[in-house]
Structure 1
Amino acid sequence: MIRIRLGTRGLGNVRFAVSPVGSAKDLLRLVGFSPGTLTPPWRTRATDALSRHRLGLLAVVGGGGPLGYAPDFLRPEPPGFLTDIDTALHQIATTPRERVRYELTEAVNGHSWDPGSSHPPPRQLLRALDRGEDHFAHRLADEMARFWHEALEPSWPAVRARLEADVAARASEIARCGLAETLNRLAPNLEWRDGELVVHLRTGGIHQLTLDADAVILTPSVFVDWALFCAGEPPGAPAPRTPLIVYPAGQVDCRPAAREHPLIGATRLKLLAELSQPRSTTELARRLYLSPATVSYHLQLLHRAGLVTRTRRSRQVLYQRLGAAAPGPG
């Protein structure tokens, strides 16, 4: 069980973020520990990327060490709501040496708060460490870049739209129900109680950690079904990070009733109804007897809210309603 104690300041600094490299790490974790839960296209694409590009170190480290632990520096702290992949890869490559050393000690010897859980270290990990922490971080960043471009980038627009739509739905939920209730609905093993954010772990009572935090970062993922705790360490850890919790992205309903969503009015409901297939602004204006300027205005709002996707085809920009199903590779 992980308990994060948040005072008034910490509660006010709870924020959401969408992480492309975090999604890649979640995919790696499933490949390493539960490949059967992935759909065949995702499993094939991820395993092919690891084998074709010989990303053995990433598979060993990113897939998880003892008790499923993988170093947190592979999921850098998002500086904003959406961090581009190049920034995140630079963060990995420039991880401070002492932080790399600390986290790899965790991976080799078990968690510092559970020192009795040591496991034999993977030989490939030890061989890579022989050249030092800086080389190790740069090599992992390079392998993560190749994995990202091969396995996840082709589907990232759909995955990103799903994640942004989830965050938009959570923001609406906070406005209706409050932050505490929204936190309790994020994942079955996550709860807010008595001023603490509690993460119940599948390992049961093995891990016990209580942290005092001034902030928490919440990031959705299409590759998890339970909340995962990342970063946030006992006092004295080098280069301490903000506690980060990965939670399962919900199945976002993109056509809520008008009374349930502050963005949706009669005109936007009609637009969403027309967007079961890709359509241009001009076509929508013709079908709904509206001016192109009016249609464009409403589409921009729906796109910013994550309710529609936008793609360019030749000289046309086409919009389509975001489906509720999990995006697949393609």
Structure 2
Amino acid sequence: MIRIELDEGALGATRIAMSPLRDAFCALHLALPSRNPSWPYQEWVGPAREVWREDDRLRPLRDLLAHRPGVSDVLLPRPVGTADVYEELDLLRATDPALVRARIADCYAGLEDAPFLRPYLTDPEAACAALADAYAAWWEGAIAPYWPVMRRLVEDEVLVRARTFATEGIDALFTGLEARVRWQRPVLELTKWVEAEYAAGERRLVLVPMVFAEGCRLYSTDDPEVLTVNFQARGAAALREGAERAASVAEDRLGLLLGRGRAAVLRELGGPLTTQGLADRLGLAPSTVSEHLSLLAGAGVVTRHRVGRSVYYQLTDTGRSLLALLAGEGVLGAIA
């Protein structure tokens, strides 16, 4: 169990940021032969494992993970909120050499003489450059084809969580984060196999939503100023093939009443989503989803609101009641 005590200053400084590099790191763990990923990742994991096994450019990552699968900020720099993984890789390349030596010595204590570690101690700049190149190869082979969909899911999550924080406060943000996180003011508890406690005022908190978080909830402690906690973004089901998704929509009373397309849109609206976000999750054309949403909004079961240039849709009380009565689904806490 990890206990993080947050005083008013730390709560006020809490922020939410995306990090494609952290998603790529968690995806690495899901692709390891010892893992058995759940259904949203099964279409992805076969080709990803081929990249992991066969691309020799990934050797620096394979060596580090083979000897210590945990997390160090040498592997994962502080999230800066960018959607560009190459910007994060530039930060990795620019890591202070003294910091690299210190963290490698700490994380891999007793292995300092191992050939795969020696470059980090003798030529940290070159070692970090090789590690960044390994990440880039993994990204291009296993993540990049999915990133347009992933990016929309994570950006939606950031906007929705930020809006929750701004309108309902930190209690609502933490309470709705996910099952393995428990908030009892002033302590945030994370269910992990390690034991750790952090006193109030030590560091500020950064929350990072990810698509590939299944079974790999990360928290990073090397940074003296920031605690980074990653959590599962809604919508991992978007990694499934569209045909599988369409076939999974059962012919029930809701589908018979509204049609399968509109019923699927209604089911997916467990939280605010854009038209494109719904289209990604359902494997439908955005124009089709837009038509369904217009009809549902006209019937009073869906409402819309604008955040910046994006329009978000969510269920009204009537929509929730309709789902509860006809589909028998508890949609208020639904997480994909």
Same fold (TM over 0.5): yes
**For residues 265 and 163 of structure 2, what CA distance do their matches in structure 1 show?**
13
**For residues 257 and 221 of structure 1, what CA distance do their matches in structure 2 show?**
18
Residue matched to 1:71: 72
**Does structure 1 residue 278 correspond to structure 2 residue 285?**
yes
- Give yes or no for contact 2:6–2:186 (8 Å, CA) kept in 1: yes
Residue matched to 1:318: none
Residue by residue over 1:62-92, the C-alpha shift from the partner in whole angstroms, topping out at 9 and shown as x without a partner, is: x3644x4132232222223x34122101001
Residue matched to 2:310: 304
- Say if 1:256 and 1:31 are closer, same or farther in 2 by CA, change over 3 A: closer
Tell me the CA shift for residue 218 of structure 1. Answer: 0.5
**Does structure 1 residue 244 correspond to structure 2 residue 250?**
no
The one of 231, 234, 237 aligned to 2:220: 231
- Give yes or no for contact 1:225–1:248 (8 Å, CA) kept in 2: yes
* Identity over aligned pairs, percent: 24
Secondary structure of 1:228's counterpart equals: coil
Tell me the CA shift for residue 160 of structure 1. Answer: 1.3
Residue matched to 1:24: 24
- Say if 1:226 and 1:175 are closer, same or farther in 2 by CA, change over 3 A: farther
**For residues 153 and 221 of structure 1, what CA distance do their matches in structure 2 show?**
15
Tell me the CA shift for residue 56 of structure 1. Answer: 1.5
**For residues 19 and 184 of structure 1, what CA distance do their matches in structure 2 show?**
22
Secondary structure of 1:220's counterpart equals: strand
- Give yes or no for contact 1:28–1:59 (8 Å, CA) kept in 2: no
Tell me the CA shift for residue 189 of structure 1. Answer: 2.4
Residue matched to 2:149: 158
The within-5 A match list for 1:54-93 is 54=56, 55-61=58-64, 63=65, 65-66=67-68, 68-80=69-81, 82-93=82-93
**For residues 130 and 182 of structure 1, what CA distance do their matches in structure 2 show?**
41
What are the ranges of 5 or more consecutive residues in structure 1 without an aligned counterpart?
110-118, 234-238, 290-297, 308-323
Secondary structure of 1:243's counterpart equals: strand
- Say if 1:262 and 1:141 are closer, same or farther in 2 by CA, change over 3 A: closer
- Say if 1:48 and 1:305 are closer, same or farther in 2 by CA, change over 3 A: farther
- Say if 1:245 and 1:263 are closer, same or farther in 2 by CA, change over 3 A: closer
Residue by residue over 1:81-107, the C-alpha shift from the partner in whole angstroms, topping out at 9 and shown as x without a partner, is: x34122101001111112212321233
Residue matched to 2:138: 147
The within-5 A match list for 1:124-139 is 125-129=116-120, 131-139=122-130
Q: CA RMSD in A?
A: 4.1
Residue by residue over 1:11-63, the C-alpha shift from the partner in whole angstroms, topping out at 9 and shown as x without a partner, is: 111111111111101111223475311634322232222333211211232x3
**For residues 92 and 74 of structure 1, what CA distance do their matches in structure 2 show?**
8
Secondary structure of 1:139's counterpart equals: helix
Residue by residue over 1:137-171, the C-alpha shift from the partner in whole angstroms, topping out at 9 and shown as x without a partner, is: 11101111111111101100111112222233334
- For 2:219, give the aligned amino acid: C
Secondary structure of 1:216's counterpart equals: strand
Residue matched to 1:168: 159
Residue by residue over 1:195-244, the C-alpha shift from the partner in whole angstroms, topping out at 9 and shown as x without a partner, is: 122223134xxx323243442110111222367343334xxxxx634110
Tell me the CA shift for residue 134 of structure 1. Answer: 1.7
- For 1:52, give the aligned amino acid: E
Q: Count the aligned residue pairs.
A: 273
- Give yes or no for contact 2:10–2:204 (8 Å, CA) kept in 1: yes
What are the ranges of 5 or more consecutive residues in structure 2 without an aligned counterpart?
237-263, 296-303, 314-333
The one of 45, 48, 51 aligned to 2:50: 48
**For residues 268 and 138 of structure 2, what CA distance do their matches in structure 1 show?**
40
- Say if 1:13 and 1:34 are closer, same or farther in 2 by CA, change over 3 A: farther
Residue matched to 1:96: 96
Q: Which moved more, 1:184-193 or 1:85-94?
A: 184-193
Secondary structure of 1:224's counterpart equals: coil
Secondary structure of 2:36's counterpart equals: helix
- Say if 1:92 and 1:15 are closer, same or farther in 2 by CA, change over 3 A: same
Q: What TM-score, normalized to structure 1?
A: 0.67
**For residues 124 and 305 of structure 1, what CA distance do their matches in structure 2 show?**
53
- For 2:53, give the aligned amino acid: S
- Say if 1:158 and 1:131 are closer, same or farther in 2 by CA, change over 3 A: same
Residue matched to 1:14: 14
